[in-house]
Amino acid sequence: MKDELQQISDFFELGVITETEEASGNSNRNSYITTSTGKYLIKIIEERNDASEVASEIPYVKRLKGNLKIIPYIENQNGESLFHKDKTIALAQPFVENIPVERSEAVILQLVEEQARLHQIDPSDLPQRQHWINLGYIARALKEIEENNWMANTEVLKNHPAATQDWSSCESGIIHGDLHLSNTLFNQNKELLAIIDWEEVGIGHYVLDFAITISAFCFDNKKLNKELLEKMISVYEKERLLSDIEKQLLDIAIQRAFITAFVWKCLRKHRQGDETVWDAKDCNCFTYF
pLDDT below 50 — which residues of the chain? Answer: none
Rounded-to-integer distance, Cα 75 and Cα 93, Å: 9
pLDDT given for residue 82 in this prediction: 97
CATH at 75: 3.30.200.20
The reply to whether 242 falls in a domain is: yes
Domain ends where: 62, 94, 126? 94
pLDDT for residue 17: 96
CA distance 150 to 278: 6
Indicate whether 38 and 115 sit together in one domain: no
Task: Specify the number of domains making up the chain.
Answer: 2
How many CB atoms within 10 Å of residue 81?
20
Three-state DSSP class for 161?
A: helix
pLDDT 10s digits, 61-75: 999 999 999 999 999
User: 264: domain range?
Assistant: 105-287
Q: Is residue 131 part of a domain?
A: yes
What pTM was estimated for this model as a whole? 0.94
CA distance linking residue 175 with residue 163, whole number of Å:
19
pLDDT tens across 34-46, in order? 999 999 999 999 8
* 134 and 264 both lie in a single domain: yes
Say if residue 228 is exposed, middle or buried (CB neighbours under 10 Å; 0-12, 13-18, 19+): middle
Residue 230 covered by a domain: yes
Residue 128 has a CB neighbour count (10 Å cut-off) of 9
Domain identity same for 125 and 162: yes
* One domain, residues 126 and 61: no
Q: How remote is the C-alpha of 17 from its chain's centroid? A: 30
Instruction: Say which CATH number the domain at 244 has.
Output: 3.90.1200.10
Residues 127, 212, single domain; the answer is yes
Query: Residue 209: what pLDDT?
Result: 98
pLDDT of residue 217: 96
The per-residue pLDDT for 123 is 97
Report DSSP letters for 131-143, one per residue.
Answer: -TTSTTHHHHHHH
Q: What is the pLDDT of residue 49?
A: 67
Domain identity same for 135 and 237: yes
CA 28 to CA 257: how far, in whole Å?
A: 23
Decide: 133 and 208 in contact? Cβ < 8 Å.
yes
* End residue of a domain, out of 43, 67, 94: 94
Distance CA 26, CA 24 (A): 7
C-alpha span between 116 and 109 (Å, rounded): 11
